[in-house]
Structure 1
């Protein structure tokens, strides 16, 4: 079976879904567990490679942007690309975000040949999604994905010749590839030339599967995905909605329509995207989330709150619309089987909690998403970095992965983090200022501190914990040292030394 693979550079896919990331050629790296996972063309041209340590990569390109690996984000950004491909050809199988395959026969017959089909797909993705794609065609799906890396069309019957010159590392089995290289087998052609029986005896079942791939055989059957059903509901108004009461009435009708559509499929949703467009082309869009399942009434409330806040913004001196609302669209997200949402230990969330949630989202509807914030844990070294504020109801996504090692980070965080660190002097028993060397050695035991007008004795201390960030860039280098001090007034504080000066960063209560 002739297979056609479409590959899009990983950063191109991410850039399609991030604000202000239109330039896919900027030096950017996607990072996972301190290793570079994907590289933009600009960063790759400067020597950055997949698998590099982040510090090594930033040593080569200090101004390179670093984006944390997020499979959920990649999947959301990849979905419009797959939908654009499905508008030209059916039977698309998604291998991973950034790569999909399909049978070449259909699009080749429709567009006048495999090469013409590949050009049409590339042009269509550039026009519709703004991403740069590469298309590869070969006799097997695995070979087609390799051909897509260079945008090659392998003639029928020549797939084995194409694979023969590729290094064994493309098999995606690092341990097997390392062993083969040490045995002198560096190319797929050399590996395919080995007797199948000897390969099975020496490398086992996995080695035998790799041998079949190197020989041009692919036992993987195409499993095309089922395109998702469009469950969104939309309404257009010949007479634009100018008043809040009109918007509230329209919101209830549209919300009931949406939940009838969901109920007909046995579904419910916990998130909903509300889009409103005025007669002048102005747009207001927001994703609303709920800790339970959204009912028709709850959906109507959120539509009304969003439109109320938007329509009355100009009267309050804000940037409101200049015309009435001409179109409304509701798109459900977070779909679950109706009745499949697990209640709390003692039943539902409770009336008090529901009232608090309704009040929070009501304020957001009037004043904007940033009006009500909630704290979520995040990765980082300092206490101010390890907690970030996000709008109420948004996904609790940390700014940085929490599971990273974070050398120099604190395990015991202060209960109170000061918005602005307060200057303090730390002295030893002889009255000399306490310092920390470049090797993280403290000059002397802290004896007392001068905090404002108070002189407080130090009864216990721990540290220092050094932080050496962005050491490769003189303009952004950040060197800190933190200590925990117990004072004679009963308080325990976290102090940080930066630029030769101490400051209280947090208080333990």
Structure 2
């Protein structure tokens, strides 16, 4: 299949741009419509980090020596005032979606390749605008009107060639690669354009430094050595990119929001005001034959505060349950569980955004009545409506280093907090098998040596004497200590302790903790 003639538009440093746009939007909302402060993004060196490396950085950061792929330490050494921000693919996607919607108003058939990069077939826009260069320039003009003047475009045979053409251009400019000239255009480019670290390292060892050198290799030998993926990259290097442009199907706009002319402070007032907004959300879902099982609610107040939370539903939300979640989130901010970021003010903005949706047919009621799970949910929801958000809780096994932290009681319908997920790494946590009984609170204990003195641990982790007795019961075996060190950078929350496992004369195994020169029983093994 011959490569399709395409236009690829690239917006450099999109993660940084997405951060600026999301922060500017929040600032505009918090100022109650008076406008966001004028901030030049180039004046703030920013690096987007993932796995302790820079994945994107601002222009001002690059001017001070920050580069993609740098380690955190090297980036901070090059620019001490560098602002480090963790990578957030969801933020990049949210910021890119309005850009795609705006381009689709100009020309249909837009394919997002990744946040900050999209493609359209060149044939239709070129006919409408009077040529490929005019069509690409029209896209760049539209992006400049949207506040994105640094975009650049490439027109070529195939997505890969057009993307490389766009990356070689200066801001607000277009590179046209003539038909049939893809191989000649790509030939002098470095093999780093293939974005495959293993292949790049192998080709470098073979002395192949350019795409033209890679394309000159025998295809059969490349396939035998590198497999089908190597053969695909070999075709890209030779300008034979047969991937078609697959336009996205624009998703329906399901989120709804409301702004108040005067800040509202009472939860009942706000809940009454957002009822119509909640109805609009459900109506939009019904029109798309969808139901919402996870919703994000954003609240902004008149003092610059922001409260954002994701709510789950065992089945699907209706309008009244959405209003309940708004009320509960407001109550959580008043209780101090979810502060706006300062002293709470009046609410000026509410946004209800479905995060996860499902087909309506999967949530139709049973022919002969509702199942036990549905009846249970309705019963719990009614009790929760009467007693409040924290009136009904469910136990959840979470992450943590201490056994008492791993059992959490979560309000009915709440999503698990990302920082408490048990699949995250928890250095210092207790490995399997866990004690069968956990004491809340921990029980004080006395662990003594053979001479009756208390057993202690020195600064190097050495035991003063082998444990001989636990609360006057003879110790048959013991293991430890295993240090647990937490938050050494925070004097108020720092903890340093040592864990031990002991077996007494009754063949009962115990988990003990030595903290602040005192012994505690944390759990018992059955």
Change (3 A) 1:281 1:474: closer
Is contact 2:398-2:408 (8 Å) kept? yes
How far apart, in 2, do the equivalents of 1:59 and 1:417 lie? 47
TM-score normalised by structure 2 residue count: 0.66
C-alpha distance in structure 2 between counterparts of 1:428 and 1:468, whole Å:
25
> Are residue 356 (structure 1) and residue 380 (structure 2) matched?
yes
Q: Which residue of 1 aligns with 2:418?
A: 398
The corresponding residue for 1:164 is 187
Moved more, 193-202 or 274-283: 274-283
CA spacing shift, 1:58–1:384, aligned 2, 3 Å: farther
User: Match of 1:10, SS?
Assistant: helix
Q: How big is the alpha-carbon RMSD for the aligned residues of Structure 1 and Structure 2? A: 5.7
Q: Is 2:195 the partner of 1:190?
A: no
Q: Given the superposition, is the C-alpha separation of residues 133 and 388 from structure 1 closer, same or farther in structure 2, using an over 3 Å criterion? A: farther
Deviation at 1:143, TM superposition (A): 3.2
2:522 counterpart of 1:506 = yes
Q: 1:339 to 1:187 in 2, by over 3 A?
A: same
User: How many pairs are equivalent?
Assistant: 478
**8 Å CA contact 1:372, 1:391 repeated in 2:** yes
Instruction: Identify which of 203, 221, 224 aligns with 2:244.
Output: 221
In structure 2, the residue corresponding to 1:226 is in which secondary structure? coil
- SS of match in other structure, 2:146: helix
Q: How does 1:83-482 map to 2 (within 5 A)?
A: 83-86=101-104, 89-103=107-121, 106=125, 109=129, 114=136, 117-118=139-140, 120-121=142-143, 124-126=146-148, 134-139=151-156, 140-146=158-164, 152=170, 153-157=174-178, 160=183, 163-196=186-219, 198-200=221-223, 202-232=225-255, 258-272=281-295, 288-299=311-322, 321=346, 331-341=353-363, 347-360=371-384, 376-379=396-399, 381-383=401-403, 393-399=413-419, 402-403=422-423, 406-412=426-432, 413=434, 416=438, 427-430=448-451, 431=453, 433-435=455-457, 438=460, 442=463, 444-448=465-469, 458=475, 460-466=477-483, 481-482=498-499
Q: 2:53 aligned with 1:30, yes or no?
A: no
Residue equivalent to 1:10: 15
- Pairwise CA distance, 1:336: 1.2
- Comparing 220-229 and 204-213, the one that deviates more: 204-213
Counterpart-to-counterpart distance in 2, 1:89 and 1:441:
72
Contact 2:219–2:231, Cα closer than 8 Å, also in 1: yes
Q: Match for residue 493 of structure 1?
A: 511
Q: Deviations over 1:290-338 (max 9, x none)?
A: 2111235544655677799999x9xxxx95749xx9x987554422111
Residues in 2 aligned to 1:441 and 1:91: alpha-carbon distance in whole angstroms? 68
The alpha-carbon deviation at position 224 of structure 1 amounts to 1.5
The structural deviation recorded for 1:399 is 0.8
Q: 1:274 to 1:208 in 2, by over 3 A?
A: closer
Gaps of 5+ in 2: 28-38, 337-342
Q: Which SS does the other structure have where 2:231 is aligned?
A: helix
Calculate the TM-score normalised by the size of structure 1. Answer: 0.67
CA distance in 2 between counterparts of 1:174 and 1:124 reads 35
Unaligned 5+ runs, structure 1: 127-131
Asked if 2 retains the 8 angstrom alpha-carbon contact of 1:136 and 1:146, the reply is: no
Aligned-residue offset at 1:191: 0.8
- Post-superposition shift, 1:245? 8.6
